[in-house]
Structure 1
């Protein structure tokens, strides 16, 4: 349901003074203040962000801003991207909508943003319409979030990070070794249960790939890495002996577990697929 302010805002949108914000210096992040709207409570400001990831911070929100997230690329693939946003834990003062040709769909209410849960949507669903919620005191209101542009498949995965655990099929395991943000062989050293997730401390002795610095090296002479991987708390992961092949997704700098077969099981599947010529990619198993 639209707020009274928004309901009154939309029919008059063309009559409002619309201000166009210049790109930030890197076109990735934007920081602004609603105090520039103080005398024009119905101002709608246009914001353009062109990078694959960045952030937005809107202090003392009044009026509304429209955030256009568009990559600096011209190809059919650009239309198949998803946008994932992660609100800051202290984000408040606005409601977030998706605006497609003047039709709005509620994405996040003000009270939901503090949960910090990742929300993803197709880039074809429209721009972000961020409407300030009227408050007598706006001095403590700041709307802030990080965003990433990802493939539609990754966007669906990010939405289901807290979904019930499901074992990966043989085909999914082989494909994950080719497409995951990180692929590493190692063991589980510690599992810490937190309210929203489990944090698994791992020791890696073979690092195949990592999108960002998820695993930290122990030094040039020590060919080992350590890191933390998150997963839903009900997955029941435990410390124990054995080598695993950890594969998963990196979202907003955090590693989330995808498939994690025992390495000997993955090795058997890989060699079988290799003999049949059905491996989706080559993995160095030496």
Structure 2
């Protein structure tokens, strides 16, 4: 049986099969535990349609899938119980990627009718992408299992490659404030935490703000005068010809619904790299931040030392 045809029928809702039957059919299944946050895997079946099980151990990171043929079963699981938001963004190069969610249903047995306990699995289609997808999120308390299947056409040339950025965030914790979920100013406590734990911390000015209706995000162009820390190369030296060549330039993202507008003066920009993009977290005016910082130093409440 053609595995890809089987799964497409399953994803379309025309077929429901037991987990035991599924395991028997997909004999080309391999296991891959992602011990790092960012992992690279490749199709072990040499284009024959193997199914690779991937279970990252981190709450955020990237899976790079080389020679992207067959399928990946991606299990996203938090470390502790609670309500979480599971988000992914897929970059599909030289191939189409079909993303579905595995949904399990359990049937209780009945010893009088000689019916044993059974588990059925079906695929619920989420989205299809060729190129860069939008962010897609699922909320819940149970681990999320995604099924990514690729489909190559005669028009696709070059090496097939798929990148999956994933992010697991607890939604009930106020200590992990995310502007992708809420639009409000940060409290003093959140400012201090963001200053010490963010993926990027910089002082600078807003050059411009563009709004992307398709991505539903605002893109903020920033000129940095003081770079305190950054996880990735978010802020870089300006291009040749800029009137202030020693200034760093970069962009950060925020939800479109927050209605961010261009503001004059200096700000403290903090945030995290989320699904491959720098996302703004707290951005107080620099004078406000200096007051918060001075009070924290006076009360010995600052948990880090850089730039203080």
Q: Secondary structure of 2:291's match?
A: helix
SS at match of 2:301: coil
Q: Report the CA distance between 1:125 and its aligned residue.
A: 1.4
Alignment partner of 1:18: what SS? Answer: coil
> How many residue pairs align between the two structures?
266
Residues 98-156 of structure 1: per-residue CA shift (max 9 Å, x gap) = 77996768675235897521437799716544468xx9x97679894413466758x99
Q: Is the 8 A contact 1:230 1:255 kept in 2?
A: yes
Unaligned segments of structure 1, at least 5 residues: 38-43, 71-76
Counterpart in the other structure of 1:40: none
- Relative distance call for 1:28 and 1:5 in structure 2 (3 A) is farther
For residues 62-95 of structure 1, what are the alpha-carbon distances to aligned partners after superposition, in whole Å with 9 as ceiling and x for unaligned?
Answer: xx6434679xxxxxx9669997521237844452
SS at match of 1:116: coil
Q: 1:174 to 1:144 in 2, by over 3 A?
A: same
Match for 1:13 among 16, 22, 25? 22
Question: What is the distance in 1 between the residues matched to 2:122 and 2:22?
Answer: 17
- Give the 5 Å matches for 1:1-286: 3-4=12-13, 6-8=15-17, 10-21=19-30, 28-32=39-43, 36-37=48-49, 45-48=51-54, 52-56=61-65, 61=70, 65-67=72-74, 84-88=87-91, 91-97=96-102, 109-111=126-128, 115-119=133-137, 125=143, 127-130=145-148, 144-148=162-166, 152=170, 162-195=180-213, 196-218=216-238, 223-285=246-308
Structure with more of its chain in helix, by fraction: 1
Deviations 1:164-220 (A, max 9, x none): 41111111111110111100001111111221211111110100010100000249x
- Aligned counterparts of 1:148 and 1:209: Cα–Cα separation in 2: 23
Distance in 2 between the 1:78 and 1:127 partners?
15
Query: Given the superposition, is the C-alpha separation of residues 47 and 139 from structure 1 closer, same or farther in structure 2, using an over 3 Å criterion?
Result: farther
Q: CA deviation at 1:58?
A: 7.4
The 3-state SS of whatever aligns with 1:29 is: strand
Aligned to 2:109: none
Which runs of 5 or more structure 2 residues have no equivalent in the other structure? 1-9, 107-118
TM-score normalized by structure 1?
Answer: 0.69
CA distance in structure 1 between the partners assigned to 2:29 and 2:177 by the alignment: 32
If each structure's strand is expressed as a fraction of its own residues, which one has the higher value? 2
Q: TM-score, normalised by structure 2?
A: 0.65
